[in-house]
Amino acid sequence: MSPPVVDVDIFIAGGGAAGLTLASRMASNGYRVAVASSSIAATAISTGRVLFNHDDPAVAEWASLFLTRFRSRESNYDLLERPTVAMTNIGTPLKQSLTNSSFDWTLEDRDVAVVGVIGNNDLDSDLACLELRRSLGICARPLWISPFPYPTAANNHFVGELADILKDNISENTIVLPPISSDPTYALLTKLQNLSGKRVVEAATPLSLPGLRFQLLLEDVAEEVGVRLLKDRRLISIKIHGKEANEAVLSSGMRTIIVKFSALVLATGNLASGGLAVNGRGVIDPLNIFRVSSTQASGIHSSTLRNALSSGLDTCKGRAITKQGVVIRNVIPIGSLLKGVSYPLGYGLGEVMLEAWKSAPIVEDAL
């Protein structure tokens, strides 16, 4: 028996912020697009806070596709005017990031209680209050509550009880909580806000729900505009003839799937998500096909680590280059897989999404 075949115009390996942004743009332009992803994306373990370059006209284009669709999903994401445009969800400025200078404190009222939940490592109220005082001069009150009642998607009815606690037992008007529900929307937060009559702010912590929710939002939008998501399917090899790639092989559990495409986009992320791998002190392409190099970068003191972080796929006019130096005309790497784009050196989600957005013409050209 031969493996099943998926036939699309554009095949994107890697379903993080970069892959899903480009996929959604191409699908809404009418192309047949499939995105394969395997394991967690860096996007899903980030804090989900996005910084955009203020001057970039692509921000508006991006927003016209995504933002309305985010809003219809009760995401609470919005574009904020800043020196750099930040897209944030309700309350993101506080966050466990504590002192990150790129975010202003946007809450109008400074009458704040930070509520930690015992056993939840996401938000440490003492630590958050200490940092709020040190960095912003805000005297917030740290409080701790025990884990129950605590709402999750599965036990919605606790929202009411939690709202009562916030309303009756806490005098402050703004209340900061740890990430509150695994629900892909912020509906619970809104409900809590309505029921308690308080301003409820959720901490945006890494390795936790906010990033996961942002990922789910992107996936939702992608599916809505017609992208075919092939989850848990991993790109294991690419067949290349001359200067063109014509087939990709995916693993799906114990089977394989063949993908035929006109253009192949690689959006498999960096060292954190396995789009790149390490070999000794160097960084390599785990598929062992493409050339990896590094760029001059700043932002990390250690030169060895900086070098590794700034490593990524080499490109020529947006196209990938093999280890032998052949430019493959229809393989386009995007996102943090590219050199110099990894988070502590680059801008993270914002940059990754805008650059992915802007690579659409290159992909069209390759079709």
Partner 1 sequence: MMSRIEDGCIKCGTCQNACPVFRIENYPYFQGPRRIAVEAPRFSRELTSLSDSPHMCTSCALCESVCPSRLPITEAVLKMRTHYGIESEGGRRMISNINQYGRTIAPTSKFTSPVSGSTLFFPGCIGDARVPSAVQGAVDMLIALGDQVYIPNEWYCCGSPLEKIGAKSEVDRLQEMNSAILGTAERIVTACPGCTFQLQKNSNVDVLHVLEHLFEVITPSRLRWRSTNPINVALHSPCHLVRSVGPHTMDYAREILGSIAGVRVIDMDDEGCCGGGGGVTSTFPEMALKMARLRVESAIRAGAHMILAPCPFCVVNLRRVGDLEVKDLTAFLTELSLCR
Partner 2 sequence: MPSKVEVLVIGGGATGTGIARDLAMRGVDIVLVEAGDFATGTTGANHGMLHSGARYALTDPISAKECAAESKILKHIAHFCIEDTGGLFVLAKDDNEGYADEFLNACRLANIDTHEIDVDKALTLEPGLDSNIRAVVEVPDASIDPFFLTLGNVEAARFYGATVLNHSPVCGIRSSGSRFEVTINSGKKSILADVVVNATGAWAGRTAAMLGIDVPICMDKGTMVVFNGRLVNRLINRMRPPSDGDILVPHRTSTILGTTSSPGSLGEVASYSEVESLINEAAAIFPNIRTARAIRSYTGIRPLLNCKEMGRSITRSFQVIDHAYDGVDGMLSIIGGKLTTFRLMAEKASDVIMKKLGRTARCSTANEEIILSDDEASDIFDVEAMRYRQGRKINNLSLDMACGCEAVSSGELFIQASSPDVVNIDDLMRRTRAGMGYCQAGLCVLNMASAMGVGVSELRHYMSERWKGIEPVLYGEQLRQEAFKAHLMRVYGIDHTEPPQ
Ligand X SMILES: Cc1cc2nc3c(=O)[nH]c(=O)nc-3n(C[C@H](O)[C@H](O)[C@H](O)COP(=O)(O)OP(=O)(O)OC[C@H]3O[C@@H](n4cnc5c(N)ncnc54)[C@H](O)[C@@H]3O)c2cc1C
> Nearest distance from residue 141's CB to partner 2, in Å?
15
| Interface residue list for ligand X (CB under 6 A) | 13-19, 36-39, 41-43, 45-47, 49-51, 206-207, 234-235, 267-269, 272-275, 335-336, 343, 348-350, 352
Smaller CB distance to partner 2: residue 14 or 318? 14
**Phi, psi for 169 (deg, rounded to 5):** -105, -10
Of 87-126, which residues contact partner 1 (CB under 8 A)? none
In the bound state with ligand X, the residue whose beta carbon lies nearer, of 98 and 195, is 98
Q: Which does 17 bind (CB under 5 to 8 A by kind): partner 2, partner 1, ligand X, none?
A: ligand X
- Residue 83, judged by CB atoms within 10 A of its CB (0-12, 13-18, 19+), counts as exposed
CA distance 335 to 356: 6
Secondary structure (3-state) at 135: helix
Cβ proximity to ligand X, 112 vs 352, nearer residue: 352
183 binds partner 1, rule: CB under 8 A? yes
Q: Among residue numbers 253 through 312, which ones bind partner 1 (CB under 8 A)?
A: 253-255, 257, 272-274
Nearer to partner 2, 7 or 126 (CB): 126
7 binds, among ligand X, partner 2, partner 1, none (CB under 5 to 8 A by kind): none
- 116 or 318: whose CB is closer to partner 1? 116
CB 233 within 8 A of CB 250: yes
* Partner in contact with 181, chosen from ligand X, partner 1, partner 2, none, beta carbon below 5 to 8 Å by kind: none
Residue with tokens 């009418």: 30
Q: Which alpha helices (DSSP H) does the chain contain, by range?
A: 17-28, 42-45, 58-71, 125-131, 158-169, 187-196, 209-224, 303-309, 349-358, 360-366
Report the alpha-carbon distance of residue 90 to residue 181 in Å, rounded.
14
CB of 43 to partner 2, least distance (A): 11
Of 60, 153, 305, 316, the one binding partner 1 (CB under 8 A) is: 153
Sites of contact with partner 2 (CB under 8 A): 42, 46-47, 96-101, 118-119, 121, 124, 126-127, 130-131, 134-135, 206-207, 270-272, 277-278, 280-281, 299-302, 304-305, 308-309, 342-344
Of 345, 321, 341, residue with least CA distance to 331: 321
Phi then psi dihedrals of residue 218, to 5 deg? -60, -40
DSSP-derived pairing of the beta strands 315-316 and 311-313: unpaired
Considering the complex, what minimum distance in angstroms separates the CB of residue 218 from ligand X?
9
- The DSSP H or E segment spanning 32 is none
CB atoms within 10 A of CB 152: 14
Closer by beta carbon to partner 1, 223 or else 364: 223
Nearer to partner 1, 24 or 208 (CB): 208
List the strands of the sheet with 78-80, edge to edge.
Answer: 50-52, 85-88, 78-80
Q: Contact residues for partner 1 (CB under 8 A)?
A: 1, 4, 38-40, 42, 45, 153-154, 182-183, 207-208, 230-233, 252-255, 257, 272-274
